[in-house]
Structure 1
């Protein structure tokens, strides 16, 4: 099932004219582009001069969240130079009443993942580390990350019977084993999850939403898009929340990738305390644990599937890292 995105025929003529003026070429045709999980207006535009570009933003059918984050993403492309080597080229934006689109480099010929190879995943770690180092000088241009919804998920599962049942319902025939596992570990997980936002670890500019549908590899190097959630936060958050996506899609596990990232950061004098690694692993698992089992969201039809895909690896990583009992297998379907 796909998200309900607007068609090119819905785009006002005035907006099309603005695109042509900005790109100094007539538009030959345009098609909808799918990716991500929401009803963002996204088009691939074919210009008469042979170039293509991506127009993405908010328009007909866009939800309030699209409109809220769009100015934040535009400000990243416009004002933060640290993202330039790791983001699509930005050509500007166009708008009319009810529509606002960002014009970006088309990465259709860049490498997609999955499939993941170890070499590609390790390159991603090095490129994220390089971005984090560059971003240290510009983290004052973004808001600080909020902990709510990230550091309190295991606590919510313990205190809220509905949250607990949503999580346990993912295990179906293994529910009794999952309940025993949860009762055995949750009091260990709660305080560790709460340490994620501690200031005594490397903080800086983070993307905050790195996953396979938000990236490509251009000439062998990582390119990230969808910068709407970028903020100042614990640097390890970017890779910690990325690992379950890679493992869930058949790529290397966190234990193979995190050392590569840490080594790159250490070469720039940035070291991560033990609590930082543990807390991001536990917080990542808690984030997906409180979401993957909930009812589908009509405008985001694929979201729960992706969250289930990432929950299993996140539970495995956090349990292994802390030496906790192995969680039972969840029902993925």
Structure 2
């Protein structure tokens, strides 16, 4: 099932004229583009001069999250220098009543993942590390990462009967074994996730939502988009939240990706305390554990699917780095 997205024919003429003024060419045609998991307005626009651009934003049918995200992303494209070498080119924005679109470089001809390879996974974390090194000095330009819903999920699962059951239902016939496992590990996971926002670790500019549908590879290098959730926070969070996506899609494990990331950061003069990976692994696993079993959200019909995809790898990594017993196998259909 796909997200409900507006058609190009629904875009007001006034907005189309604004686009033409910015790009300097008449529009020949445009098509909807599907990707991500929300009902945003996304189009590939074909110009009379033979070029294409990508337009994304909020329009007919968009939810409040789309409307909140676009001004934030627009600010990042206009004001954050550290993203320039790792993001699509930004051409400007257009808006009329009920519509707000960003005009970006079209990445339609670039390489998508999955499938992942060891080479692509390593290149991704190297480029993320380089972005982190560049962005340290610009962290104060954006809001601080809020720990609500990120550093408290295992606590919520433990202290809320419905949340506890919702998570355990993901194990189906292995529920009894899973509950025994959860009883034995949850206090450790809770303590670890509480350390996520400690300030005696490297902080800086972070994307906060890196996964395969938010990236491409152009000429062998990583290109990240969907910059609406950029925050100032612990750098390790960015890659830790990314690792289960790669593993869940058949790519390299978190351990090898983390090793490469730490190497690049160390070469750039940045080292991490030992607890950084532990708290990020715990909080990442808690994030997906508290969401993967919830009912489908109608405007976001595929969101639970991708959360379930990442939950298994996130649990595996958290238990590995915290030296905890491995949970039984999750049992659900993607």
The number of residue pairs the alignment matches comes to: 333
Q: How does 1:1-333 map to 2 (within 5 A)?
A: 1-333=1-333
Task: Give the Cα separation in 1 of the matches to 2:21 and 2:299.
Answer: 33
User: TM-score, length-normalised on structure 2?
Assistant: 0.99
CA contact (8 A) 1:309 1:332 kept: no
Task: Give the Cα separation in 1 of the matches to 2:36 and 2:210.
Answer: 11
Task: Give the Cα separation in 1 of the matches to 2:121 and 2:55.
Answer: 28
CA contact (8 A) 1:114 1:212 kept: yes
Shift of 1:198: 0.2
CA contact (8 A) 1:205 1:233 kept: yes
Task: Give the Cα separation in 2 of the matches to 1:110 and 1:302.
Answer: 23
Shift of 1:332: 3.0
Shift of 1:217: 0.3
Paired residue secondary structure (1:138): helix
Task: Give the Cα separation in 2 of the matches to 1:272 and 1:174.
Answer: 37
Shift of 1:65: 1.1
Paired residue secondary structure (2:137): coil
Paired residue secondary structure (2:56): strand
CA RMSD of aligned residues (A): 0.6
Shift of 1:25: 0.4
Q: Which runs of 4+ in 1 moved over 3 A?
A: none
Paired residue secondary structure (2:217): strand
User: TM-score, length-normalised on structure 1?
Assistant: 0.99
Gaps of 5+ in 1: none
Task: Give the Cα separation in 2 of the matches to 1:9 and 1:177.
Answer: 54
